[in-house]
Every structure is written in structure tokens, then in C-alpha cells.
Amino acid sequence: LYKFRPPIQKCLVPPSSSKDDRAVSTNMTSCGLTDDGDNCCPPMPSTEIKDFKLPSQSSPMRVRPAAHLADEKYIAKYKEAIRRMKALPDEDPLSFKQQANLHCAYCNGAYSQVGYPHCQVHIHYGWLFFPFHRYQLYFFEKILGMLLEDPTFAIPFWNWDNPPGMKMPDMFVEDSNSSLYDVLRNADHLRKVVDCNYNVGDETYSSPQESQESQESINLKTIYRQMVSNSKNAELFYGSAYRAGDCDARNGSYGGPVENCPHNTIHSWCGDPKNGEEDMGIFATAARDPIFYSHHGNVDRMWIIWRENITTDPEKRKCVEDSKDWLDANFIFYDENRQPVRAYVRDSLDYEKLGYVYEKVDIPWFNEKP
């Protein structure tokens, strides 16, 4: 019997056959200079690297609050956590300096791939983007919990997809003596609603002159477009496949819509144009600004919303989410006990198993179909 069927969706990212196993695997001992010539290698592990294990499921959930809603007590605690992290000696793999180095090394080509010494590991502009950054936040948060002796501690997210949260959250800008402050930011943007379509150097809001539309509402439409209209299936949402032996992630590969905007645009919105867009606007320095971890909290939350509220049909996600080459890709981190661990993309998908959730807030762009 012929039946009406939806068109078969073509996998632009075909799951590889078992013979063709090409998941990117990080060679920790290969760390060298980045593409920009920086040396930002985290300390070389002196003990054996173990496979990362999901935490025991009995520990209490960590609930990540929206930064603009956090109360004084929470803010004081977060400041203290970052202060302690910054006070660790630079060479400690858990120090703030090394958290920033970790991002610099991974995002800027310091590591090479197991089996492909001439190929670098790149975690931007492709399907490793969401899992890598989820893991970076996971370990960052666990380290802060350890430093505070509070395993329930959760990092705040910058709720830039909601009008009351569209400015840099106060906790990062209000006090230049606080551990959350960073001088290398665009001074004109500290208290201004972000422009999700920001182009460096172009300070006119993207609102067409003749319209009276607020930047808030343009941002909501932009986010709807990126999350819904431009992200209809996994190969669009996640960006291009990136397999072992794919050497130059920057040629011919593309980031998913959310990675490009608002992720990249908000990075450049924060960076200081008087200092070459440091910190947030530059791969090598972005994670030196504490706001990086809250920006990525919201990027991570977008991943969750896309899977749970927008593209709920696993058929539309399987081109990437069933691909062994994606699931087996892996990165190395130091856990909160300074144990080096190899973390696989497959263990990053279920964030609740990683022990955290996001505070529930309105998602106003759901109704902002342009």
C-alpha cells in the first residue's frame, strides 16, 4: 500500500559506517602554539587520563539562575567563588587563568587530533560547538562548587533572549573592584541593550530608521529566526560536520545559526574596540572575562530549548545526534579533583544527568515570528 509520507529527509551529515570511524579525539600531549601564535596550553597531565563518568544521580540538581534575577546573597557568593578561583596559582589547572587557557587552546587550534598530527582540534564553526562549551561550563561550575564547598552551587546565565535581561547583567558591570569585572570591555555597551545583529564598528542599532521598533523586539525576532526558521533540522542547527582528518575547520565549514548570531555577535558586542576587541571579541581571550561563562550559559540553554521546545521530533535530529562521529568526539578537561578526564560528546546530551537545569523564565520570542 502506498501511503502518504513526509518527504524522506536527506542527511547532509550521513552517519558514518562503522568502518569509517572518524570522531575527532583530542591528543592532550600535542598542545602547541595556537593559530594566533599564543601559548595557552593548560598544564600537561602528570597522571593517567581517565574517561569522564557522569556524576552519581543522587546528588542534588544545580539550578542555574538568570543573572538579572539573582539576589544579593547569590551575587556575593558568585563573586566569592570567582575570587577564590582567581586566587589559585596560575599553574593550577583549576585556576581562572587556566580556565581561560583551556578555551584559548581548544578554540584556537592548539591541540592536534589523535591519529592526525597535522590536523587541529577546532571547536567553533561546526557541530562540536555546543557539546564542547557545555562541558567547559560543567567543569567550571563543579570547580566553583568545590572551592565554595557547596556542590549545589550553579553559575548564572545571561538571559539575553528576554527584554529584562538584554543588557550585560549588573553583577558584571556595577563594581570595578569585584572579581566579576573586566576592564577589557566596550565601555559604551556596559549598560545598553545588546544588538543581536551587532557588527563591530557599526553602532547604529539594526532597527530600520523609519520604524519605531525597539531593539528589544528586533532581538526577539532575530532569535526566533535563528532558533526556529533557520534551524529546522540538526544539520542546520549544529553547523557542519567535523571529523578526524578534517584539518581546517575554518575553510568550508560553517557554524550553526545560533553560533553565528547571537553567539558571535554578543561576543563582539562585549569586547573592547580600543583594545583589538579583547577580551570577549577574540577567541584567545574571551574566557578571561567572567561574563563569558554566563553568555555561554544562555547559549547552552538555547541548545536545550531547541531540542525540547522546537525540534522535538528525534527524526529531525538524528543526522547529527545518531552519528557516531559526533557522539564519539572527545575533549580533555581537569575535573574538580584535578583528575584529567576525557569527556565524550555522547555524555553531554542529557544535561540533567550532568546534574544541572536552568531556572525557568519566560521565552518571549516564541511568539515573535517575523
Report the catalytic residues: 103, 124, 133, 263, 267, 283, 296
Of 22, 103, 142, 316, the one binding ligand C2O by CB under 6 A: 103
Cβ 248 to ligand C2O shortest distance, Å = 17
- Residues binding ligand C2O: number (CB under 6 A): 8
Cβ 286 to ligand C2O shortest distance, Å = 6
Q: Is residue 286 part of the contact set for ligand C2O (CB under 6 A)? A: yes
135 burial type by CB count under 10 A (0-12 exposed, 13-18 middle, 19+ buried)? buried
Write the single-letter amino acid at 32.
Answer: G
Q: Is residue 194 part of the contact set for ligand C2O (CB under 6 A)? A: no
Q: Is residue 124 part of the contact set for ligand C2O (CB under 6 A)? A: yes
Q: Is residue 288 part of the contact set for ligand C2O (CB under 6 A)? A: no
The residue number with the shortest CB distance to ligand C2O is 107
**Residue 17: other Cβ atoms inside 10 A:** 8
Of 97, 189, 296, 307, the one binding ligand C2O by CB under 6 A: 296
Q: Is residue 97 part of the contact set for ligand C2O (CB under 6 A)? A: no
Write down the residue that cell numbers 587556566 correspond to.
Answer: 98
First-to-final CA distance of the chain: 41
Q: Is residue 267 part of the contact set for ligand C2O (CB under 6 A)? A: yes
Helix (H) or strand (E) holding 357: strand 356-358
Number of helical H runs and strand E runs in the chain: 11, 8
Of 107, 147, 220, 236, the one binding ligand C2O by CB under 6 A: 107
**Residue 169: other Cβ atoms inside 10 A:** 24
Crossing angle between the packed helical segments 96-107 and 72-87, to the nearest 10 degrees: 80
Which residue lies nearer to ligand C2O by CB, 255 or 340?
255
Nearest to 95 by CA among 80, 108, 107, 84: 84
Contact residues toward ligand C2O (CB under 6 A) are 103, 107, 124, 133, 263, 267, 286, 296
